[in-house]
Amino acid sequence: MPGLERVRTAYYGWYVVAALFFATFVVIGVRQGFGVFVETWEEDWAASTTAVTAASAIGWVLNGVSQPFFGALTDRFGARRVLIYGMLALGSSVLLVTASTNPLMLAFTYGVLLSFTSGALSFTPAGALIARWFVRNRGKAMSLLTVGGSASGVIMIPFLAYFLLNASWQTVWLVIGAMVLGLGLPALILIVRSGPEDMGLEPDGDMPETADGEAGPVSRAMVVGPLNAERWQESFRSAPMWQLSLAYWVCGITTASIAVHYVRWASSEGIAPETAALAFGLLSGINAIGVLFVGSISDRMQRKTLLGIVYLVRGLAFLSLILVPGVGALWAFAVIGGMSWLATVPLTTSLAADVYGVKKLGTLAGLINMAHQLGGGAAVLVFAWVFDTWDTYDPAFAGGAVFLLLAGVLSLSIREKRYSSRYSPVNPTTSTKPELASTAVDAD
């Protein structure tokens, strides 16, 4: 019985999620691992914190600029090509980092080459790909993808810190490059496909329409909301795009600053770098649990409510770095911050897909992620300047807490029930005419 055989077979979309999980694990390790090497580079090159972290700041900005570019390529050519060629370019760039002999060369190899190419492996193409494979289980699938980043924090960051104790930083980066090219690239080539239609499947593994015209649960995949975007420019005429982008800008500020300066801050407090790396691993481990929980329940409740809560919780984590004394601040941030760290990723991308559809989601996600990365690039430099000027990160942490409060309010103000396709009637003929979208925008 062919039908029964299909039901028993695991939906191929979950294999795609697994491959993207591993790719995300590798890429996030490369990006967030930068902070582990900051003090080593300062000593080797007799450079200031600002000079060394400038490479990361440039990288965050260029990575952000690359997002809409790779998002548009995803919409046009499919995510599979973008991801595969991106992984090849990333691996080559990682190997070039080992040739750096001063902050200027690091700014080129890491800040320009590696950071731009890693945009092809960001949550922009990966999130757009997942949104095509899943509709009813979109939040859960997005969260599993994001957990790859959390797992990287648990394993890769402590691994890099301890590896650096026993080998030169050049050797460590050579090993990272080998992981990218030897493990990440084959996983993408062998498993990833750009959409379920490439394999004759439907989103979520649902069955297609029957011969008599009856549609199963797949009809939900055909539903669009009043802001469904046939052209990406249309999204900027509506409030949700601005609310998601501004909140994600704050997300970039607060994640980039910690990724680059957390270990450096701990060192300034007399805490060993390997201890700080272990705390960051704990943060990522807690986050993995939090992301899975948030992603799963977001398929059954409003995503904007969860998104607002996540930002507010992260604000408390930033306050703990100022208010909790001594080494306690390290672990307090790891626990509180871990509840919220990457949980914004599946919620933001899923909500954008729910509101604007998947046709131009690569470009839209790229624009939202660009805001995230630009905020992160600015924060890396500002945090370094604050530390070099006052020999403390406290003013920067306080600013981060204030911004997170604003992000929480922005997220909670999104009118999800009005604009999300999840709350639209299940009707395959739901209109996507521009005049309907325009009317809805005026009402917002």
CATH number at residue 115: 1.20.1250.20
| Residue 4: per-residue pLDDT | 43
Instruction: Confirm whether 47 is domain-assigned.
Output: yes
Q: Are the CB atoms for 287 and 153 separated by under 8 Å?
A: yes
Q: How far apart are CA 153 and CA 338, in angstroms?
A: 11
Strand, coil or helix: what is 271? coil
Question: Which residues does 390 contact at the CB level (< 8 Å), separation at least 6?
Answer: none
For the CA atoms of 269, 274, 280, 283, the dihedral, rounded to the nearest 10 degrees, stands at -100
Residue 276 banded pLDDT, cuts 50, 70, 90: confident
Q: How many domains does the chain have?
A: 1
Instruction: Confirm whether 214 is domain-assigned.
Output: no
Q: What are phi and psi of 421, to 5 degrees?
A: -65, -20
Strand, coil or helix: what is 270? coil
CB atoms within 10 A of CB 170: 11
Window from 93-107, 142-156, 292-306, 308-322 with minimum mean pLDDT: 142-156
Q: Which two tokens stand for residue 337?
A: 């911050």
Q: How far apart are CA 266 and CA 276, in angstroms?
A: 6
Instruction: Confirm whether 444 is domain-assigned.
Output: no
Window from 101-110, 176-185, 285-294, 419-428 with minimum mean pLDDT: 419-428
Q: Could you tell me the residue range of the domain that residue 373 belongs to?
A: 9-203+221-438
Residue 242 banded pLDDT, cuts 50, 70, 90: very high
pTM: 0.75
Instruction: Confirm whether 2 is domain-assigned.
Output: no
Tokens 């325009």 -> residue: 438
Q: Are the CB atoms for 364 and 228 separated by under 8 Å?
A: no
The single-letter code of the amino acid at 94 is: V
- Write the DSSP assignment of 197-216 as a string of letters: GGGT--GGG-----TTS---
Work out the mean pLDDT of the chain and round it to a whole number.
85
Q: How far apart are CA 222 and CA 364, in angstroms?
A: 19
For the CA atoms of 8, 11, 12, 18, the dihedral, rounded to the nearest 10 degrees, stands at -110
Instruction: Confirm whether 89 is domain-assigned.
Output: yes
Q: How far apart are CA 338 and CA 290, in angstroms?
A: 8
Q: Are the CB atoms for 366 and 67 separated by under 8 Å?
A: yes
CB atoms within 10 A of CB 393: 22
The pLDDT tens digits for 191-239 are: 999 889 888 888 888 766 544 444 444 445 556 667 776 777 888 889 9
Choose among 219, 224, 211, 273: nearest CA to 33.
273
Tokens 């949700």 -> residue: 240
Residue 138 banded pLDDT, cuts 50, 70, 90: confident
Instruction: Confirm whether 443 is domain-assigned.
Output: no
Choose among 176, 158, 400, 393: nearest CA to 282.
158
Window from 34-38, 74-78, 254-258, 314-318 with minimum mean pLDDT: 34-38
Q: Which two tokens stand for residue 197?
A: 């239609």
pLDDT average, residue stretch 425-443:
42
Q: Which two tokens stand for residue 330?
A: 């390290």
**Cβ neighbourhood burial of 81 (10 Å; 0-12, 13-18, 19+):** middle
Question: Which residues does 424 contact at the CB level (< 8 Å), separation at least 6?
Answer: 223, 224, 225, 226, 430
Instruction: Confirm whether 95 is domain-assigned.
Output: yes
Instruction: Confirm whether 154 is domain-assigned.
Output: yes
